[in-house]
Structure 1
Amino acid sequence: MSGKADPRAAGEGTTSRTRLDRGRGALGPALQLVHTGRAPTRAVLTAELGVTRATAGAVAAELEALGLIRVDARPGAAAGAQGRPSHRLSIAEDGPVALAAQVHADGFRAALVGLGGRIVATAPGRLSVDADPAQVLGAVVEAGAGLLRTTGRRCVGAAVAVPSAVAEPEGLALNPLHVAWPAGAPVRRIFEECVRAAGITGPAFAANDVNLAALAEHRHGAGRGARDLLCVATGHRGVGGALVLDGRLHTGSSGLALEVGHLTVNPEGRPCHCGSRGCLDVEADPLAFLTAAGREPGPEVSLLRQAEDLVRNHRDDPAVREAVAALIDRLGLGLAGLVNILNPDRIILGGLHRTLLEADPDRLRAVVAGRSLWGRSGAVPVLPCTLSHNSLVGAAELAWQPVLDDPLAALAREAGHG
């Protein structure tokens, strides 16, 4: 063979690099489109990005080279389809992961979550939470580090969902009452120290569990396609809310927006830890349901499991039926107030609230519509959350965000710290 370079090959290489240079700014948007399922093919990616087919191909090839997506160059054409089928795009199943963790009143769990919100591996949940946040966060990171060792996956970062408002920029858990942590615990700093001590690379984050559930549902679940999404949920204790405005999670000036648990829904109700009375937090959570149904909470399973079992399997009991109706009315009253203030285009409910919606959707929707101005002028869809472990998936979204923003820079930083 001649030792001279083929000028045509050199020209093709230069053209390819030029296309990629032009498309570098599109790497993040392209990855987000594939990550959220909005670009299943290269043709759709081209249209969504507003670039040429060649540039979209170079961008997809670069994301594949980074180990983030897969490009199927030989897709099968659908029956009756015209023309050449477009290359299919999918998440790399063996690609990197984020370490996600969730702490709640009845325990904690760790998981590895890939792009697309896919849970790759989970560590068994624990059924007790120490009053020292350092002990809990250390244990959850240890469990996550074990998953990383077992799977051999590359980790892009870590995040933990906690049952408390988290003030920014300090990352302080202001009201972790249901896990008996001290108010103002520096959860993000503690979590980051545990992550570093375990030798895990990438940034570390901490955020409110319902905020993260809303983020996950908006990208991968019942909230997909909504512009202004309201999420209200109760898991193990208390009630939380979150808002996605124009496609972005709204956390307010310091991370404390939408503390919906302290809406008054029963002025003569039980005292709340905030100093008021009859708040959603103590009138519409699993403990409130068990109390309304005349049941004494047991220690064998979580409060959420006990409450959901009653709703699903004991509706023939008049006390349970009355408790379901009472909590639906309280929840509907709170949602109606939020609809009047926020005017969302969709409401999604999680935890026990999802189960109550499924038990009597007509009653809940009627209360919301009857008590809200916007509900009467046009029905606001009220839907159940659809993701399992959505707070875990949302925590992973937080850890993945730097990669989604700038894949090249984020993965270069991770390699530099590896």
Structure 2
Amino acid sequence: MTGNAHPRTAGDGTTSRTRLDRGRGALGPALELVHTGRAPTRAVLTAELGVTRATAGAVAAELEALGLIRVDARPGAPAGSQGRPSHRLSVADDGPVALAAQVHADGFRAALVGLGGRIVATAPGCETGDADPAKVLGSVVEAGAELLRSTGLRCVGAGLAVPSAVAEPDGLALNPLHLAWEPGVPVRRIFAECVRAAGITGPAFAANDINLMALAEHRHGAGRGARDLLCVATGHRGVGGALVLDGRLHTGSSGLALEVGHLAVNPEGRPCHCGGRGCLDVETDPLALLTAAGRAPGPEISLLRHAAELIRDSYDDLGVRTAAETLIDRLGLGLAGLVNILNPDRIILGGLHRTLLEADPERLRAVVAERSLWGQSGGVPILACSLDHNSLVGAAELAWQPVLDDPLEALA
């Protein structure tokens, strides 16, 4: 060929350069499809992206070259299936990871999380807290840094889950009451400083733990496939909620949407730190269960673990069952009100609420159906969260998002 030859043309009539450009534009969407398990084969990836087989192949090959996914060398098909076999796609077991950190009322924990929501390594959890946020965040980041040093894995960034509303755009923890931190702590800035001081590369993020639980469950767990997903959960103290609308986490104008813990469900109930009375936050959390059952919180284990074990191990005890049923009824009342307002297509419950659902699913569903406008006409599915450490996985999703948006730019 001479220098005046026309550009080489692909079989679909486009030049190889055009196909490459189109493929690069599809890298992010393609990675997200593999990451969330929605493209297990190259054939599915081709259909989901709406591109040619050649372009999908080029996209998959480039993601594999970046160390993010694996493409089976030989195409295969399940036994009994029809059609042309397709190469299977999976996330790379030895690929990069995100550092995920979580702070809660009883300490902190850290983990490394790969694509697909896969927890690669975890550090021993700390079961004591501290009133100094810089000290706590420095400790959890150092635990994560040690994991990175021991595994030798590349880090794309870090994410932090905190039991507080986190205001945007400044990343302020507005109500970290159960951490004994001052309101308005600049948690994102402090976390980012700790990440940099530990020599960890990549951006750092922070968000509310229940929001991150919902994000993780929507992408990898019980919420996968839902369009409008409501998540309500107890942590070690209090109650939080989150909403995924049309497939996207809804955080409101400044990150403070869906503070469901302050929905009143018992007008004569316990005083709440918000100034109200009988809120979900104080009527359906682990402390409420232990108090209603006449059990003193034990210093040796967390409130959440103590309450969950009490239900699982002693549900035949009349006092425990009565206390649990009281919490179920109040939780159902709150969920019914949320269903009336939000009209979700699925509800998932975490923390102690998951344990209450598992203890008596029919009672909870009956309360929601009786009290909600649309409950009598089919109801909304109510499921238990299915991921272990889902807030940690959600924290990692924050760090993975820039890579999902633009793999080439993020990994450059």
TM range (shorter): over 0.9
Could you tell me which residue of structure 2 aligns to residue 416 of structure 1? Answer: none
Q: Report the AA paired with residue 33 of structure 2.
A: L
Tell me by how many angstroms 1:181 deviates.
0.5
Could you tell me which residue of structure 2 aligns to residue 48 of structure 1? Answer: 48
Q: Report the AA paired with residue 74 of structure 2.
A: R
Q: Report the AA paired with residue 162 of structure 1.
A: V
Are 1:315 and 2:324 matched, yes or no? no
Q: Partner of 1:126: helix, strand, or coil?
A: coil
Are 1:59 and 2:68 matched, yes or no? no
Could you tell me which residue of structure 1 aligns to residue 403 of structure 2? Answer: 403
Q: Report the AA paired with residue 353 of structure 1.
A: H
User: After superposition, what is the alpha-carbon deviation per residue over 1:60-116, rounded to whole angstroms, capped at 9, x for unaligned?
Assistant: 011001110011121333223334310110001000000000011111100000000
Q: Report the AA paired with residue 58 of structure 2.
A: A
Tell me by how many angstroms 1:398 deviates.
0.7
1:13-162 to 2 correspondences below 5 Å = 15-162=15-162
Distance 1:197 1:78 in 2: 49
User: After superposition, what is the alpha-carbon deviation per residue over 1:126-171, rounded to whole angstroms, capped at 9, x for unaligned?
Assistant: 0011011100000000000000000000000001000000000010
Q: Report the AA paired with residue 115 of structure 1.
A: L
Q: TM-score, normalised by structure 2?
A: 0.96
Runs of 4+ with deviation above 6 angstroms: none
Distance 2:36 2:293 in 1: 41
Distance 1:203 1:12 in 2: 40
User: After superposition, what is the alpha-carbon deviation per residue over 1:2-27, rounded to whole angstroms, capped at 9, x for unaligned?
Assistant: xx99x99x948995443221211110
Q: Report the AA paired with residue 337 of structure 2.
A: G
Verify the 8 A CA contact 2:68 2:91 in the aligned structure 1.
yes
Cα RMSD (Å): 1.7
Q: Partner of 1:373: helix, strand, or coil?
A: coil
Distance 1:36 1:45 in 2: 12
Distance 1:298 1:159 in 2: 31
Could you tell me which residue of structure 2 aligns to residue 368 of structure 1? Answer: 368
Verify the 8 A CA contact 1:42 1:57 in the aligned structure 2.
yes
Distance 2:354 2:137 in 1: 28
Distance 2:381 2:329 in 1: 17
Unaligned runs of 5+ residues in structure 1 are 413-418
Tell me by how many angstroms 1:380 deviates.
0.4
Q: Report the AA paired with residue 227 of structure 1.
A: R
User: After superposition, what is the alpha-carbon deviation per residue over 1:285-340, rounded to whole angstroms, capped at 9, x for unaligned?
Assistant: 00000000000001001111110111011012110010110000010011011001
Distance 1:16 1:410 in 2: 24
Tell me by how many angstroms 1:246 deviates.
0.1
User: After superposition, what is the alpha-carbon deviation per residue over 1:175-202, rounded to whole angstroms, capped at 9, x for unaligned?
Assistant: 0000101000000000000001111111
Q: Partner of 2:26: helix, strand, or coil?
A: helix
Verify the 8 A CA contact 1:16 1:58 in the aligned structure 2.
no
Distance 1:208 1:101 in 2: 12
Unaligned runs of 5+ residues in structure 2 are none
Verify the 8 A CA contact 2:76 2:87 in the aligned structure 1.
no
Q: Report the AA paired with residue 46 of structure 2.
A: T
**Identity across the alignment (%):** 85
User: After superposition, what is the alpha-carbon deviation per residue over 1:207-228, rounded to whole angstroms, capped at 9, x for unaligned?
Assistant: 0000000000000000001000
Q: TM-score, normalised by structure 1?
A: 0.95
Q: Partner of 2:227: helix, strand, or coil?
A: coil
Could you tell me which residue of structure 2 aligns to residue 194 of structure 1? Answer: 194
Tell me by how many angstroms 1:378 deviates.
2.9
Q: Partner of 1:94: helix, strand, or coil?
A: coil
Distance 2:135 2:242 in 1: 28
Verify the 8 A CA contact 2:231 2:241 in the aligned structure 1.
yes
Verify the 8 A CA contact 1:213 1:391 in the aligned structure 2.
yes
Are 1:225 and 2:228 matched, yes or no? no
Distance 2:243 2:374 in 1: 17
Q: Report the AA paired with residue 36 of structure 2.
A: T
Distance 1:132 1:17 in 2: 55
Distance 2:286 2:253 in 1: 31
Q: Report the AA paired with residue 324 of structure 1.
A: A
Q: Partner of 2:99: helix, strand, or coil?
A: strand
Matched length: 408
Q: Report the AA paired with residue 78 of structure 1.
A: P
Distance 1:332 1:293 in 2: 19
Pair 1:83–1:276, CA change in 2 (3 A): closer
Q: Report the AA paired with residue 140 of structure 2.
A: V
1:254-403 to 2 correspondences below 5 Å = 254-403=254-403
Distance 2:88 2:254 in 1: 41
Distance 1:162 1:147 in 2: 21
